[in-house]
């Protein structure tokens, strides 16, 4: 039997296989008005096709907990009940196909208020639906980016509450998994890394202080999320800096703390907090970070990053390097990747009745 197509259980939830869809922003929501931040027809078609293709878990893209937490004005959000209702159409369809619906909750921090990538990704101001970003410290992400406003303790507490509110809406919208976005140079990662966190109060300096915000967010989400449903946390395992940044050792240490606070799985990525970091990419280049967490803790992990073919994914799971794989660009190229991999590896995925001729 293929390890990649064995079901996986977390708390009371069983995910039908280990082929999972990584959160990938589509930058396709309305930037303002009554439908701002709500999923549109594009989002439905995008996620529905991966569910029809046999993907076991679909993690919906970074979904902002507040308007100011969006990466771009065109991001999804869960700060209003209007958005909640729009998400229900997606979760109903995914569930009907046997796919588990999950959502990644996020705050972009100092990397907020930028244009869509295919429009250049530059920072935008009020004339293009932009706003003033916030961050742990008044340190811009890169040259040409706005200097963020340093968050007060009261501001931090408000954002923690926003994560809890968004988790409540995610539950009401029909999601079975919620993931806290703590990677890629966005707000939670900005607090974790000494490269971006220059604070001298209880949220800066020592490892414990820099991890405080992440753990408070997890606690707030876990408190409102049912005990029978899992909470994930996405981490950047390293800033890819020789010194002065977040490291793989820090990630292992954080993983142990996250598990104590009720996180069920660590989604292990890397980078994003340093604009000019030198990253040696290649097939499965981030898998060793996931494997290191798995070897050094009791926390389940998922691997991501240039995982493209069935045999490669099978080996990652079968060899115990990770408990599941998250596919990103490969699922953009081929929504039916899971079905093809199942045929190649001798596994099984559910095929919609309407597609019975393809079996």
| Choice among 27, 47, 186, 336 that is catalytic | 186
How far, in Å, CA of 69 to CA of 112, rounded? 6
290: tokens are 């996931």
How far, in Å, CA of 323 to CA of 118, rounded? 34
Half-sphere exposure of 202 (CA within 13 A, CB side): 9
Annotate 199-262 with DSSP letters as a single string: --STTSSSHHHHHHHHHHHHHHHHHHS-TTS-EEEEEES----SSSS--HHHHHHHHHHHHHTT
How far, in Å, CA of 183 to CA of 116, rounded? 19
Whether 186 is catalytic is yes
Contact indicator for 82, 30 with CB cutoff of 8 Å: no
How many CB atoms are closer than 10 A to CB 312? 14
**CA 307 → CA 154, 194, 226, 243, distances in Å?**
41, 30, 32, 28
Residue 147: DSSP 8-state: P
Residue ranges of alpha helices (H) inside the chain are 41-52, 81-96, 153-172, 187-192, 207-224, 248-260, 287-296, 310-318, 329-333, 337-345
How far, in Å, CA of 91 to CA of 319, rounded? 32
Q: Which residues of 211-237 are buried (b: 16+ CB within 10 A; e: fewer)?
A: bbbbbbbbebbbebbeeebbbbbbbbb
Q: Which residues are catalytic?
A: 186
């Amino acid at each position: 039997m293929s390890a990649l197509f064995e079901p996986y259980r977390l708390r009371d939830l069983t995910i039908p296989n280990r082929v999972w869809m990584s959160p990938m922003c589509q930058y396709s929501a309305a930037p303002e008005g009554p439908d701002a931040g709500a999923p549109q027809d594009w989002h439905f078609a995008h996620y529905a096709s991966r569910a029809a293709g046999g993907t076991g878990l679909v993690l919906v893209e970074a979904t902002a907990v507040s308007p100011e937490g969006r990466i771009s004005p065109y991001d999804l959000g869960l700060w209003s009940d209007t958005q909640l209702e729009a998400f229900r159409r997606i979760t109903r369809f995914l569930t009907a196909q046997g796919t588990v619906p999950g959502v990644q909750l996020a705050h972009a921090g100092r990397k907020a208020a930028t244009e869509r990538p295919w429009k250049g990704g530059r920072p935008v101001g009020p004339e293009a639906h932009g706003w003033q970003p916030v961050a742990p410290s008044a340190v811009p992400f890169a040259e040409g980016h706005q200097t963020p406003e340093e968050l007060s303790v009261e501001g931090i507490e408000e954002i923690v509450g926003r994560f809890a509110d968004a988790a409540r809406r995610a539950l009401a919208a029909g999601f079975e998994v919620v993931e806290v976005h703590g990677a890629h140079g966005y707000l939670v990662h900005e607090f974790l890394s000494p490269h971006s966190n220059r604070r001298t109060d209880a949220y800066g300096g020592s490892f414990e202080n820099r991890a405080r915000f992440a753990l408070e967010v997890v606690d707030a989400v876990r408190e409102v999320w049912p005990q029978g449903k899992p909470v994930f946390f996405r981490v950047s395992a390293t800033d890819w800096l020789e010194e002065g940044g977040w490291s793989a050792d820090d990630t292992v240490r954080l993983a142990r703390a996250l598990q104590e606070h009720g996180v069920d799985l660590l989604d292990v990525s890397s980078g994003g907090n340093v604009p000019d970091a030198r990253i040696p990419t290649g097939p499965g280049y981030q898998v060793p970070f996931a494997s290191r967490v798995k070897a050094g803790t009791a926390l389940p992990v998922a691997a991501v990053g240039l995982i493209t073919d069935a045999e490669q994914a099978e080996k990652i799971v079968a060899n115990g390097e990770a408990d599941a794989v998250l596919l990103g660009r490969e699922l953009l190229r081929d929504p039916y990747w899971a079905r093809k991999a199942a045929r190649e590896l001798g596994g099984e995925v559910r095929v919609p009745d309407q597609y019975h001729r393809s079996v």
